[in-house]
Copies of this chain bind each other. A is one copy, B any other.
Amino acid sequence: MRQDNEMTTASYGIGTISKHTGVNIETIRYYERIGIMPKPPRTAGGQRIYETAHLKRLAFIRRSRELGFSLDEIRALLRLVDGGDYSCGEVQEMTLAHIADIRRKIADLRRMERVLKDMAAKCDGGDVPECPIVDALSA
């Protein structure tokens, strides 16, 4: 573990924050390239040095991805947070929009499931080469 020479500010290598957040090393570098993670300071040799703030930001991104936010949505969320003058209302609005999105996806999947279930039910599962599923799909 590295130590700052002035203060007791913890620093971590990229592998450490990768393990901590569960985000792949390559993905972290990718996030930096596309600008949702800031360019961190480097050692004399060019290796990235992260601090607690980076760790928190990466955890935020990770959790948001898990909850289905796109990187663009996360970018917007982070812009609010970075601006400093974000309001709770704005964040809530985006979250509600995202929930609506998820609901639409669920509805679509349920429709698919129903159709497929109906098709599978018409099938006797035998060896004959006349399948109602195939018929239903090409109609």
Chain A residues at the B interface, C-beta cutoff of 8 Å:
56-57, 59-60, 63-64, 66-68, 77, 81, 84-89, 91-92, 95-96, 98-99, 102-103, 105-106, 109-110, 112-113, 115-117, 119-120, 123-134, 136-139
Minimum CB–CB distance for A126 against chain B, Å? 5
Identical subunits present: 2
Closest to A105 in B: B109
Supposing A102-B116, A139-B59 touch, asked if A84 and B129 sit within 8 A by C-beta, the answer is yes
CA distance A24 to B88 in the complex (A): 42
Closest to A66 in B: B112
Residues on B with C-beta less than 8 A from A88 are 123-133
